[in-house]
Amino acid sequence: MSTNAPAEPPPIGGEAIKVEDLHKSFGTNEVLKGINLSVATHEVICLIGASGSGKSTLLRCINLLEPIDSGRISLWGAEVTGPDTDQNLVRRHVGIVFQSFNLFPHMTVLRNVTLAPAKVLHLPRAEAEAEARALLSRFGLGDKEAEFPERLSGGQQQRVAIVRALAMRPQIMLLDEVTSALDPELVAEVLDLIRELAATGMTMLIATHEMGFARDIARRVCFLEEGRIIEDAPPAELFSDPKDERTRRFLRRIVDAGRL
């Protein structure tokens, strides 16, 4: 895995994700209160904010795992929140990785990775497996293909989960606090993998509590509080000179906890 400086990613392209005035409630609890966000192709954006600020819900809405109440989400200019959207087609192009890995426990690593390419892209088994093996060994998991998930460490499981999403050749990856459930010594291996993805130009929207990582990798960092984007700025600006008092308060707590 690359700890040395990766090659320059491709230049920022056109708009990949556009979120307009997105509202989402669970029962009486309004989790998203009008989110506006635009992500360009090849851009990496980090979402930071306390638990419950709406980061995960926003990512799940973009993957269409949660129906939205009002507003609009478009991918490459086409609305995906309309009534006749083919959700499965959208999800083929937008991968999501969860905090809790969510690997399929009854399948080997290889089956976990090949299931969707075989069933959705209809790749022949041999081709799906060859591609899966290539991805697995590229991310240091080449010897794990026959293992079942519960035999792997948390870091390995999360890397398999990322590979599983990548096997669908998505154009956008949504990462939902993918290191939050990991032991501290396993965080680096997952972050390295994400850095490598960013270097290839993958468009990513990353919810994270790893401030140092966000500062390194993101082109823009968005601070969320109570369902709103409070501040949206390049990391250098947001971390060293936050404009909003709420952002400053949040960052001060992070610094006090020794995490920045």
Partner 1 sequence: MDEHQTGPAGPPDPEFAGTDLAGVGPPSASAGEAGIPWQPPGSFTRSRRGSRLLGGVSGTVISTTSTIVVLGVLVAIFLLAPGARAVEHAFFNPQDMWASFVGDPQKGYYSVGAAIWLNIRMFLAAEVLILILALLIALVRQSVHPALFPIRILATGYVDLFRGVPLILVIFAIGLGVPALSLPGVSSQSNAVYGVTALVLSYSAYVSEVYRAGLNSVHQSQTAAALSLGLPRRTALRHVILPQAVRNIVPPLLNDFISLQKDTALVGVLGTIEANKAAEIYSEQVFNFSSFTVAAILFLILTIPLARFTDRLIERDRRRRLAGAPA
The residues binding partner 1 (CB under 8 A) are 60, 63, 65, 87-89, 91-92, 95-96, 98, 100, 102-106, 108, 115-116, 119-120, 146-148, 150-151, 164-165, 168, 184, 256-259
For the bound state, the minimum distance from the C-beta of residue 65 to partner 1, rounded and expressed in Å, comes to 5
For the record, the structure tokens of 221 come out as 């960092």
Q: SS3 for 158? A: helix
For the record, the structure tokens of 67 come out as 């129906």
For the bound state, the minimum distance from the C-beta of residue 243 to partner 1, rounded and expressed in Å, comes to 26
Q: What is the CA radius of gyration of the chain?
A: 18
Q: Which is nearer to partner 1, 67 or 77 (CB)?
A: 67
Cα–Cα distance between 197 and 91 in angstroms, integer? 19
Q: Which is nearer to partner 1, 155 or 220 (CB)?
A: 155
DSSP per-residue codes, 19-88: EEEEEEEETTEEEEEEEEEEEETT-EEEEE--TTSSHHHHHHHHTTSS--SEEEEEETTEESSSTT--HH
For the bound state, the minimum distance from the C-beta of residue 224 to partner 1, rounded and expressed in Å, comes to 20
For the bound state, the minimum distance from the C-beta of residue 91 to partner 1, rounded and expressed in Å, comes to 4
Q: Which is nearer to partner 1, 21 or 127 (CB)?
A: 127
21 neighbors 70 (Cβ within 8 angstroms): yes
For the bound state, the minimum distance from the C-beta of residue 14 to partner 1, rounded and expressed in Å, comes to 23
| Residue 204 bridge partners (DSSP) | 44, 173
For the bound state, the minimum distance from the C-beta of residue 178 to partner 1, rounded and expressed in Å, comes to 13
Give the orientation angle of helix 125-138 with respect to helix 109-119, to 10 degrees: 130
Q: Which is nearer to partner 1, 220 or 239 (CB)?
A: 239
Q: Which is nearer to partner 1, 243 or 249 (CB)?
A: 249
Q: Which is nearer to partner 1, 204 or 229 (CB)?
A: 204
| Strand ranges (E), the chain | 15-26, 29-40, 44-48, 70-75, 78-79, 94-97, 172-176, 203-207, 220-225, 228-233
